[in-house]
Structure 1
Amino acid sequence: MKRLFLLSCAILFFLIVMIGCGNKNTTDSASQNQSGSELPSSQTSKENKSDSESSEIENTKQSNIPTLFIHGYSGTDYTFNGMLSRFESEEYGKQQLTITVQPDGSISEVGDWQEEADNPFIQVLFSDNKNNEWNQADWIRAVLVYLKTTYQIDEVNLVGHSMGGVSSFRYLIAYGNETSQPVVNKLVAIGAPFNDFVEGNESQTLTELKQDGPLVLSGRYSEFSAAIQQYPVSTKMLNVVGDLNDGSKSDGTVSLSSGLSIGYLMQSAKRDYSEKIIVDEQASHSQLHENDEVDALVSEFLWGN
């Protein structure tokens, strides 16, 4: 009997040990399964991020139409270097050429033009960077004639900061319908003083400006008004202006009234025109081309689907 009791105890002890080991194995297996499920989740997250980045690139309209970037009064390559670098990093396109124009209209270039490049960028520099908008318009024409005769380029976009925007607009109403230059598909003006720096429009609201045009006209604006019907019908325009939100109603240099005054003429002429006010303490005149919101507006307008 005693031996039977000892044998029963031994069997019971053995069963308890086996059950305990089984629970441990089950726990370890569950732990391994849980760890295993985290790795694919992490990989999926990376895949989703990669897919998102790919989607952004896919949503960028690709073409071999170059975009010319034109600085303002006293501007240099520094004006657009930052924006071009950011656009390249976002894979919107790539800078192919830097073209420098001398006062006599002669042209030199640095870079390597690739005919099949996607969204190529061309930076345009004026050797005499403090000259007037009439000469700058002639120099823009010289650049475009050069691009058409040298590289058989038939279409371009223009992006101009400050006077670069004014000179680009003047080019369009003076020469934009000539066949010796490429067709300008789109124009982006950033901080451009279309009504110069005249005084007397401070009391006018932006609604009144849009409905009636500015109260006081500069010589520049009067010339634009007289020639607005010469602005090419097919050229879309985006006008970006800055408001420091400090009560000045300006970007610190160009007033909202001057910058937005061109909208009245474009609306009157029934041209394709849109505008955007960047309200930001960082929306100063010389920093508009370094503003993330401006980057987004310009890239969407030029290359968005």
Structure 2
Amino acid sequence: MRKKFLFSFVVILLGLISVGCGNEKTAETVKENPTTSESKEKNTNESVSSSSESTDPLTANQTAVPTLFIHGYEGTEGSFSGMLSRFETSGWGKKALTITVQPDGSISETGTWQNQSDNPLIQVLFADNKNNEWNQADWVKAVLSYLKNTYQIDEVNLVGHSMGGVSSFRYLVTYGEDESLPTVNKFVAIGAPFNDFVTGNEAQSLDELNQNGPLVISERYSDFAAGIQQYPKTIKMLNIVGDVQNGSDSDGTVPVRSGLAIGYLMQTNGLDYHEEEIVGSQAHHSQLHENTQVDKLVGDFLWGTP
């Protein structure tokens, strides 16, 4: 049974103003969803139900392994700035660098790297924030190569929202076994459309999706299926999806079944995978990286003390 976080509000806020990356889409196949109101800018597939009131404090395990945060389509520095600020306030990590990648793969940075062991946080920005996932995968590679060569960083974690999650996964199935690059220990995808936006899977139950994979697959998903053997078996993955519970079975942009479709490939290949579903009004696509329940899931997964 999927894990559900039920959000109870005394007053439902009308006219929700979204923040972050906005209506994210792949450069060629995603059309703006008219239902959204966003501004542009374990080895298991099982989850256990839980109350959204679970706010147990996180005892963060402090390490020197940096975590990279990768925005989605049309994302900006604002896409993850709120989450990073909350992590710092909670003492879960400390922002060290902001790295900007140009279309030619050249890199500039702000901030200071001091080899700290306080869960350093690195924000990754793409100067061309509307490009496709293949180029973005190459840019992720460029960032990791830069960190390796400049700061001798050997291990990282990746967190990607929407297309940032898709591009990170494409990086992993393309370059994940390149020993000249830092090893990826943990990967978090938030609201990522792994099976793109194909239609025809709406009536498929989630149990059937987990057991047999999607009925209709996109070119993206087919590519992932072909490359899944290249995905490093040591990586632990957390996949977070949202359902606004308005009858769309989506977070307002990304269908739940598209986000969870990757679980079938992970499970059938014996890879370390866990998925969580956030439900309610704050499960909207552009609100997922502003959601404190998502913060807790990400923090526990990356740094929680067993």
Which band: TM-score by shorter chain?
Answer: 0.7 to 0.9
Matches of 1:126 and 1:185 in 2, distance apart? 23
- 2:97 counterpart residue number: 97
Matches of 1:119 and 1:75 in 2, distance apart? 23
Q: Aligned pair 1:287/2:287, yes or no?
A: yes
Residue 191 of structure 1 aligns to which amino acid in structure 2?
G
Equivalent position SS for 2:242: strand
Equivalent position SS for 2:281: coil
- 2:175 counterpart residue number: 175
Displacement after TM superposition at 1:274 (Å): 0.1
- 2:70 counterpart residue number: 70
Give the greater-gyration-radius structure (CA): 1
Residue 302 of structure 1 aligns to which amino acid in structure 2?
L
Matches of 1:262 and 1:250 in 2, distance apart? 16
Residue 63 of structure 2 aligns to which amino acid in structure 1?
S
- 1:108 counterpart residue number: 108
Larger RCO, structure (CA 8 Å, separation 6 or more)? 2
- Assess, with a 3 A threshold, how the Cα gap between structure 1 residues 282 and 56 changes in structure 2: closer, same or farther: closer
- 2:231 counterpart residue number: 231
Equivalent position SS for 1:266: helix
Structure-1-length-normalised TM-score: 0.81
Equivalent position SS for 1:282: helix
Q: How does 1:139-158 map to 2 (within 5 A)?
A: 139-158=139-158
Matches of 1:254 and 1:246 in 2, distance apart? 13
- 1:195 counterpart residue number: 195
Displacement after TM superposition at 1:117 (Å): 3.5
Matches of 2:198 and 2:273 in 1, distance apart? 24
Q: More helix by proportion, 1 or 2? A: 1
- 1:211 counterpart residue number: 211
Equivalent position SS for 1:65: coil
Structure-2-length-normalised TM-score: 0.81
- 1:125 counterpart residue number: 125
- 1:253 counterpart residue number: 253
Structure 1 residues without counterparts, runs of 5 or longer: 1-54
Matches of 2:230 and 2:65 in 1, distance apart? 23
1:37-63 Cα offsets, whole Å, 9 max, x none, are xxxxxxxxxxxxxxxxxx957x21111
Q: Aligned pair 1:136/2:136, yes or no?
A: yes
Residue 267 of structure 1 aligns to which amino acid in structure 2?
Q
Structure 2 residues without counterparts, runs of 5 or longer: 1-55
1:119-163 Cα offsets, whole Å, 9 max, x none, are 000000000000000000000000000000100000000000000
Residue 259 of structure 1 aligns to which amino acid in structure 2?
G
